Amino acid sequence: MRATEQRRPAAKRILDDPYAKLFLGPMLRAALATWEASGRLGDLAERFSPGLIAWVLTRHRFIDDCLVHALAGSSEQVVLLGAGYDTRAYRLAAELKGRPVFEVDFPATSRRKAKIVARHSSELPAADVRLVEIDFQTESLRERLREAGFRRGGRTAFVWEGVSMYLTREAVKATLTDLREISAPASEVAMDFWYLPDGSDLMSTAHRLSTTALSLIGEPVTFAIHPEDVEPFLGRLGFRVLEIAGADQLKQRYIHDRRPVYPAAYMAHAAVAKGRSARRAAAAKEVASA
């Protein structure tokens, strides 16, 4: 999806990622060539999944902006959880200024990415990328980061993209707790959440049913939280919400044409709160509102 956006004029792009195409397999490279030649198949794909492509791109762009904000401040290091074929270490090399980027993922993905990066090293800007191979079910995130040179207690920018909805609630809470405890106050996290639209219109009903479709392709949605509930949820875990951005905000900020944005997900940008008192205050605020 990031690679297909490059076929659009620069002024109309949601996201500029010239490196995404390097990580495509043969079939997707062929599809990309067709899209670039005709400009039609990408639009056809959008009709079958209204708003999904624009959602993925605006999600990525929102996180880019959060990361640039953190790097302009005092962030000393970046952690990409479930990094996959993320290219931020190269696209944002100027903003990173040599600060380390810890790309955390399953060994098979990390190793394939490393081979591709080595093959195209002359095309990529220099970056301090540290691959952190982990099996989340059997290994400790804290320990694997420490072994890779992560500075515990340092001001950190965390990116957690496209993952939370496929985990259990307890796994999401445990991961966020880890991030809070290994980093300094004011460290930032940018991530996305899924929720079930509660409208009675046809599109809201369709989006509620979309969880079934994802289950059929082996990616069942197991965690959903409504935007109204995410601030107290993060507050109890020791985070202060900086911004919540849904489809309407993302569309207004990043879309330069009539493309819709998938409405059943949203973005959150939060910072590690300063001390237990902030968490107690958030919990008290939630009780009072109830």
Read off the amino acid at residue 56. Answer: V
Quote the pLDDT of residue 247. Answer: 95
Residue 249 pLDDT more than 80?
Answer: yes
Q: What is the rounded end-to-end Cα distance, in angstroms, of the chain?
A: 41
When pLDDT is cut at 50, 70 and 90, the band that residue 219 belongs to is low
Quote the pLDDT of residue 31. Answer: 74
Residue 214 pLDDT more than 50?
Answer: no
Looking only at the bridges linking them, the beta strands covering 239-245 and 188-194 are unpaired
Quote the pLDDT of residue 196. Answer: 79
According to CATH, the superfamily of the domain at 50-289 is Vaccinia Virus protein VP39 (3.40.50.150)
Quote the pLDDT of residue 216. Answer: 41
Greater model confidence, 282 or 100: 100
Nearest to 62 by CA among 185, 248, 245: 245
Residue 200 pLDDT more than 90?
Answer: no
Report the pLDDT averaged over residues 138-150.
Answer: 94
**Do residues 147 and 205 lie in contact, with contact meaning Cβ atoms separated by under 8 Å?**
no
Percent of residues, the chain, with pLDDT higher than 90: 67
Report the pLDDT averaged over residues 16-45.
Answer: 76
Residue 258 pLDDT more than 80?
Answer: yes
CA angle, residues 52, 22, 16, in degrees to nearest 5: 50
When pLDDT is cut at 50, 70 and 90, the band that residue 277 belongs to is very low
Mean pLDDT rounded to a whole number for the chain: 86
**Gap between the Cα atoms of 227 and 265, Å rounded:** 9
Nearest to 99 by CA among 63, 73, 132, 136: 73
* Helix/strand/coil (H/E/C) assignment for every residue in the chain: CCCHHHHCCHHHCCCCCCCHHHHCCHHHHHHHHHHHHHCCHHHHHHHHCCCHHHHHHHHHHHHHHHHHHHHHCCCCEEEEECCCCCCHHHHCHHHHCCCCEEEEECHHHHHHHHHHHHHCHHHCCCCCEEEEECCCCCCCHHHHHHHCCCCCCECEEEEECCCHHHCCHHHHHHHHHHHHHHECCCCEEEEEEECCCCCCCHHHHHHHHHHHHHHHCCCCCCCCCCHHHHHHHHHHCCEEEEEEECHHHHHHHHCCCCCCCCCCEEEEEEEECCCHHHHHHHHHHHHHHC
Report the pLDDT averaged over residues 36-44.
Answer: 57
Q: How far is CA 156 from CA 130, 222, 234, in A?
A: 15, 28, 17
Residue 207 pLDDT more than 60?
Answer: no
Q: Residue ranges per domain, the chain?
A: 1-48, 50-289
Quote the pLDDT of residue 181. Answer: 97
Quote the pLDDT of residue 26. Answer: 85
Partners of 267 in beta bridges: 192, 245
**Gap between the Cα atoms of 147 and 141, Å rounded:** 10
Per-residue pLDDT tens for 161-170?
999 998 999 9
Quote the pLDDT of residue 213. Answer: 47
Read off the amino acid at residue 141. Answer: L
